Amino acid sequence: MLQLTDIEAAADRLKGQVLDTPFVESRTLSQLLGCTVFLKFENLQYTASFKERGACNKLAQLSDAERARGVVAMSAGNHAQGVAYHAQRLGLRAVIVMPRFTPGVKVERTRGFGAEVVLHGDTLEEARSHAHSLAEQQGLVFVHPYDDEAIIAGQGTVALEMLRVQPDLDTLVVAIGGGGLMAGMATVARALKPGIEIVGVQAERFPAMVNAIKGTHLPQGSSTIAEGIAVGTPGGLTQAIIRERVDDLLLVDEGDIEQAIVMLLEIEKTLVEGAGAAGLAALIRHPARFADKRVGLVLCGGNIDPLLLASIIERGMVRAGRLARIEVSARDVPGNLARITAIVADAGANIDEVHHQRAFTLLAAQNVAIELVVQARGREHTTQVIELLQAAGFDARLV
């Protein structure tokens, strides 16, 4: 089984090839969550993900004959970019198989690193099968995204850097998809600080590692905003390491992950993808579990589709009460809409959208249902707006 010396050797290979990213305390998150939170900014890597650590370590160890053949990898994004970038840097041919649903930003970025991108299949499993076929047909070296000792060792260098900066951490909280990052980090942490608590996090919709380790039979979903950890089958190597060296596995839902993305954007001014926010999502979901502890989180990736991000931000505003729908029933006479909008404006709120509903309503024919989408400072402010509308004689309610 992989040992600390393997990861220390990987760290030597990676010197000057990947960033030693910042690992700093977030005072605001610490105050909000009741524990001391340290963030490892792996989203600042050149490819915006920790994945290039493993890719670089793997490619650096290929023989001359293997380099001449070139490499093939399967990935929905971050592993693809890591392999493509370091293959380009080392002068190797790289073929990347990606599922057809992969966000366009990740496809184009991978092509931008000089890789030959093949879009195949609707799932990661179908893409993986095709990548193996190409490896056999063209003699390419298959670079697995997580179930490979060189890959795991490269990813484990994240923990070496974290514990060098903060050796007195109580807990590590790490996202798990196939398990490469967690397996590598757990190997380092268990060797350098045997008493440290190591906790893995999976999305509720893709609990493959939880099922494998805990013997549960939780259902697999079809999609998640944390597509970077949406893995249907955990690795064999990673599963064995996690079973031996990890203390606990937690699940987070889509709302937790969305909230974590928005918090990191607002508080830390840093952009993460769904998988990159999974660790913070666990602290949000299970605050008592981590109370008063010194917790290290890895912001493991920052590649997110802009349209998805826009939707997440908007939904986050709704959850925080900063974006609200208010329905106002009023007489359908000239001037009433102006009165309503003036009341909202005087309350210091801003109207995003206005929709009149005359036909599809049970109100009297002389009345109209006016739906307002309002920007407010929070839930209390929204309540104040509704109370002012009601005081003016309008039937107003939060939708």
Asked whether the predicted pLDDT for residue 133 surpasses 90, the reply is: yes
R_g (Cα) of the chain, nearest Å: 25
Let me know if the fold of 4-49+149-316 is the same as that of 52-143: yes
Asked whether the predicted pLDDT for residue 16 surpasses 70, the reply is: yes
What whole-number distance in Å separates Cα of residue 385 and Cα of residue 294? 41
Find, among 121, 142, 120, the residue nearest to 72 by Cα. 142
Find, among 225, 276, 316, 255, the residue nearest to 39 by Cα. 276
Place of tokens 């366009």: 104
Asked whether the predicted pLDDT for residue 147 surpasses 80, the reply is: yes
The yes/no answer on whether domain 52-143 falls in CATH 3.30.230.70 is no
Per-residue pLDDT band for 333 (boundaries 50, 70, 90) equals confident
Checking phi first, is residue 354 left (phi over 0); if not, alpha (psi -120 to 50) or beta? beta
Q: What is the pLDDT of residues 338-379, one digit of tens each?
A: 999 999 999 999 999 998 776 666 566 567 888 999 999 999
| Least confident range of 139-148, 149-158, 222-231 | 222-231
Per-residue pLDDT band for 394 (boundaries 50, 70, 90) equals very high
pLDDT number for residue 360: 60
Q: What is the pLDDT of residues 18-74, one digit of tens each?
A: 999 999 999 999 999 999 999 999 999 999 999 999 999 999 999 999 999 999 999
| Residue scoring higher pLDDT (229 or 358) | 229
What whole-number distance in Å separates Cα of residue 304 and Cα of residue 86? 21
pLDDT > 70: percent of the chain: 98
pLDDT number for residue 231: 87
3.40.50.1100, 3.30.70.1380, 3.40.50.970, 3.40.50.300: CATH of 4-49+149-316:
3.40.50.1100
Per-residue pLDDT band for 187 (boundaries 50, 70, 90) equals very high
C-alpha dihedral over 200, 20, 262, 253, to 10 degrees?
-10
Q: Top-level CATH class of 322-398?
A: alpha beta
Asked whether the predicted pLDDT for residue 77 surpasses 80, the reply is: no
Q: What is the pLDDT of residues 239-269, one digit of tens each?
A: 999 999 999 999 999 999 999 999 999 999 9
Each domain of the chain, given as residue ranges in start order, spans 4-49+149-316, 52-143, 322-398
Place of tokens 């350098």: 192
Are the C-beta atoms of 188 and 162 separated by less than 8 Å? no
* Residue 222 burial (C-beta neighbours within 10 Å; 0-12, 13-18, 19+): exposed
